[in-house]
Amino acid sequence: MTAHRLGVEIACDGPGASRDCPDSAAVSARFASMTAAAVRADGRRDGWVHRRRNGRPVDLCPACKATP
* pLDDT class of 6 with cuts at 50, 70, 90: low
Number of structural domains, the chain? 1
User: Within 13 Å of residue 17, how many CA atoms lie on the same side as its CB?
Assistant: 6
What range defines the domain where residue 12 resides? 1-68
Backbone angles phi, psi at 65, to 5 degrees: -70, -25
Least confident among 6-10, 20-24, 59-63 = 6-10
pLDDT one-digit tens code per residue, 11-30? 999 998 889 999 999 987 77
More confident of the two residues 57 and 31:
57
Q: For the whole prediction, is pTM greater than 0.85? A: no
